[in-house]
Amino acid sequence: MSRIGKAPISIPSGVTIDVSKGNMVTVKGPKGELKQQIDSILTLDIEDGTIELKRANDQQRSRAMHGLYRSLIFNMVEGVTNGWKKTLELHGVGYRAANTGQLLDLSLGYSHPVMFYVPDEVKIEAVMEKGQPPKIHLESIDKQLIGQIAAKIRAFRKPEPYKGKGIRFAGEQIRRKQGKTAG
């Protein structure tokens, strides 16, 4: 049995979970509401403040779906209670970030500024402090969406291995290369 799939999910107080026909799971909490369609192979048992996923058979596909949907439902429960946060840092001379509402304006060394519209479900804040690299803070209840938005922003200027310039996640280590060596 899947080690991830068989682990029960505890439901915190203030969170309600509904399973409608067609296996649509709705999780409501203090921060919002998320929906996820789950595979028909799986069934949800909600009792005594915990959720357990059970699969119909032991085929390879159903074992894979078991762990996947358990993780997705756990991320939904965690998102509506605490939310998810990601921080990106801009390393490079002249790199800047500013936001006006949901529009992110990035200066990344190109001949033009990069404009990126962030969906309304994600709260964005660009911070520039003296002596620190510019930072972009993202916050949302949907872990999949915030990860996708952070990856798209990072893709505008990935960190390069020689000088380490680019957009990176906070705390990310970049493997550096030496460059040309004297002959």
CATH of the domain at 32: 3.90.930.12
Phi, psi at residue 82, to the nearest 5°?
A: -110, -30
Q: Which domain holds residue 13?
A: 9-81
Q: pLDDT digits over 21-45, tens only?
A: 888 999 999 999 999 999 888 998 9
State the chain's mean pLDDT as an integer: 92
What kind and span of H or E run contains 53? Answer: strand 50-55
Q: Dihedral sign for Cα 38, 120, 17, 67, please.
A: positive
* Per-residue DSSP letter, 171: T
Q: Which one of 62, 81, 100 terminates a domain?
A: 81
pLDDT tens across 121-167, in order? 999 999 999 999 999 999 999 999 999 999 999 999 999 999 989 99
Q: Do 50 and 116 have their domain in common?
A: no
Q: How many domains does the chain have?
A: 2
Total-model pTM? 0.89
Secondary-structure breakdown of the chain: helix, strand, coil percentages, each rounded to the nearest 5: 20, 35, 45
- Select from 26, 47, 81 the last residue of a domain: 81
Cβ atoms of residues 36 and 22 within 8 Å: no
- Tens-digit pLDDT profile for residues 93-108: 999 999 999 999 999 9
